[in-house]
């Protein structure tokens, strides 16, 4: 075994020397077919390792396959798994990885930092109000430091219930709500995230079965949320805990937009989020308490609005490097103003490293709050830089 290895090494050095001298003869001429096959396989293996090492310099988080595994048939599968974003890697006619990473791609630092933070799998996104997570459940993770994320969501639903009772509309009647959110999220320093949401609200009710009737739109209540991750490890199965604060500013006109939840008073929120990361999935738990503002009525009296407790559970599963599936259980307990519980399937797909789109489909299990829906559609697009 040792003699054979020495022999192969010597022949490889001979090939290298002849190549440098510009010789046109076949340096393996005269050797047995077995030796020729093994020498070429050895050279092919070394070349592949060099290419992968070059890739690892540009993408430090990539875990390379062991050298002895390079010749195995599953090499391409390993490369696909650990380096799905090295699009310039390709196969030659023999199925051997011989590509290289372009300088243009190597310069895309911010996108690669995002990929690194997602462990080359999970697609980072914002909730529809503010803060990174699923559609309504917050994650305990923060976006990567000095990464900026712009998000926009549209949420649309028909008004199907009023204080828990079904609203059966005729064909010429209409009752619906639409919320459009513009969200900016960043982490100015490690483990600290800031997110702010600017909502545009619109509703239309044209039926005697509901009050009020009308068609109104305008700026809703701006929401600011912060998050601090207490525990974080550089493990693919790390657990994280985050605490956060939120404030809803009274920027919306409650006289026009009360149907969409605008109260005309600020709310304050405290919350905790827990997250357990696995290789291809994340599990998240949320608990939030909202101190609701009490609006002043026309006669000068104060309307006491109950505080709100929000809870939830979410699972995120990465089907492929460009597709992440989600499932959430989201609930609200609003005292005398009713309870709400819904299940939310969702997905996110990556169009390119810095751009993704998402869809979520909240389905109501129970809702006895003022205006409710049986089903809601949420669509979003997010850009990271």
Sign of the CA dihedral running 78, 384, 230, 239: negative
Distances (CA, A) of 192 to 131, 140, 345: 11, 10, 28
Distances (CA, A) of 158 to 99, 176, 204, 374: 52, 4, 10, 8
Instruction: Supply the pLDDT for residue 108.
Output: 42
- Rounded to whole angstroms, the Cα distance separating 120 from 59 reads 10
Lowest mean pLDDT among 109-118, 134-143, 350-359: 109-118
Please provide the CATH number assigned to the domain covering 113-384: 2.40.160.40
Q: Per DSSP, what are the bridge partners of residue 326?
A: 316, 346
Number of H helices, E strands in the chain: 6, 17
What is the arithmetic mean of pLDDT over 136-159? 93
Q: pLDDT tens, 154-166?
A: 999 999 999 989 9
Instruction: Supply the pLDDT for residue 95.
Output: 44
* 3-state DSSP percent of the chain in helix, strand and coil, to 5: 20, 40, 40
Tell me which H or E stretch contains 40.
Answer: helix 33-58
- Rounded to whole angstroms, the Cα distance separating 138 from 274 reads 9
Instruction: Supply the pLDDT for residue 153.
Output: 97
- Rounded to whole angstroms, the Cα distance separating 375 from 168 reads 15
Tokens of 97: 């990885």
Closest CA to 310 of 117, 99, 66, 138: 138
Instruction: Supply the pLDDT for residue 71.
Output: 47
CA angle 219, 225, 226 (to 5 degrees): 155
Instruction: Supply the pLDDT for residue 1.
Output: 54
Better pLDDT: 294 or 161: 161
Quick one: pLDDT band at residue 88, thresholds 50, 70, 90?
Answer: very low
- Residues 6+ away with beta carbon under 8 Å from 1: none
Q: pLDDT tens, 195-230?
A: 999 999 999 999 998 999 999 999 999 999 999 998
The overall average pLDDT reported for the chain is 79
The residue extents of the domains of the chain are 2-106, 113-384
Q: Per DSSP, what are the bridge partners of residue 344?
A: 328
CB 340 within 8 A of CB 312: no
Better pLDDT: 235 or 54: 54
The listed range with the strongest mean pLDDT (27-31, 111-115, 268-272, 292-296) is: 268-272
Q: pLDDT tens, 16-26?
A: 554 544 444 45
- Rounded to whole angstroms, the Cα distance separating 127 from 50 reads 42
- Residues 6+ away with beta carbon under 8 Å from 376: 155, 156, 157, 361, 362
Instruction: Supply the pLDDT for residue 315.
Output: 96
Distances (CA, A) of 242 to 140, 149, 284: 5, 19, 11
Interior/surface letters 255-294, b for 16+ CB within 10 angstroms, e for the rest: ebbbbbbbbbbebebebbbbbebeeeebebbbebebebbe
Instruction: Supply the pLDDT for residue 280.
Output: 82
pTM above 0.75, yes or no: no
> What HEC string does 272-293 produce?
EEEEEECCCEEEEEEEEEEECC
**177 C-beta neighbours (distance < 10 Å), count:** 20
- DSSP assigned state of 296: B
Instruction: Supply the pLDDT for residue 70.
Output: 46
- Rounded to whole angstroms, the Cα distance separating 187 from 313 reads 24
């Amino acid at each position: 075994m040792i003699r054979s290895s020495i022999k192969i090494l010597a022949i490889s050095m001979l090939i290298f020397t002849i190549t440098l001298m510009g010789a046109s003869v076949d340096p393996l001429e005269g050797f047995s077919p077995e030796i020729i096959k093994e020498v070429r396989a050895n050279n092919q293996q070394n070349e592949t390792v060099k290419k992968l090492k070059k890739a690892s310099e540009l993408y430090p988080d990539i875990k390379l396959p062991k050298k002895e595994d390079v010749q195995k048939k599953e090499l391409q599968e390993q490369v696909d798994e650990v380096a799905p974003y090295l699009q310039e890697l390709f196969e030659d006619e023999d199925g051997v990885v011989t590509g290289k990473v372009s300088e243009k791609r190597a310069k895309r630092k911010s996108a690669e930092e995002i990929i690194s933070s997602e462990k080359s799998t999970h697609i980072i996104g914002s909730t529809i109000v503010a803060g990174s997570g699923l559609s309504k459940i917050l994650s305990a993770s923060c976006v990567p430091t000095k990464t900026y994320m712009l998000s926009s969501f549209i949420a649309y639903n028909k008004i199907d219930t009023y204080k828990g009772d079904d609203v059966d509309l005729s064909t010429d009647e209409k009752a619906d709500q639409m919320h459009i959110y513009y969200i900016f999220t960043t982490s100015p320093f490690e483990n600290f995230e800031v997110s702010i949401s600017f909502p545009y609200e619109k509703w239309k009710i044209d039926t005697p079965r509901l009050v009020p009737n009308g068609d109104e739109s305008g700026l809703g209540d701006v929401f600011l949320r912060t998050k601090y991750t207490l525990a974080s490890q550089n493990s693919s199965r790390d657990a994280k805990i985050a605490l956060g604060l939120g404030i809803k500013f009274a920027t919306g006109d409650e006289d026009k937009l009360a149907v969409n939840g605008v109260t005309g008073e600020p709310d304050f929120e405290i919350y905790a989020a827990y997250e357990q990361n696995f290789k291809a999935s994340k599990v998240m738990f949320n608990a939030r308490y909202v101190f609701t503002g009490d609006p002043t009525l026309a006669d000068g009296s104060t309307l006491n609005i109950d505080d709100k407790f929000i809870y939830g559970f979410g699972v995120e599963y990465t089907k492929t490097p460009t597709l992440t599936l989600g499932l959430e259980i989201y609930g609200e307990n609003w005292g005398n103003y009713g309870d709400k519980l819904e299940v939310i399937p969702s997905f996110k797909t990556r169009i390119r490293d810095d751009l993704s789109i998402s869809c979520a489909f909240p389905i109501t299990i129970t809702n006895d709050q003022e205006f409710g829906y049986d089903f809601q559609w949420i669509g979003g697009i997010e850009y990271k830089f």
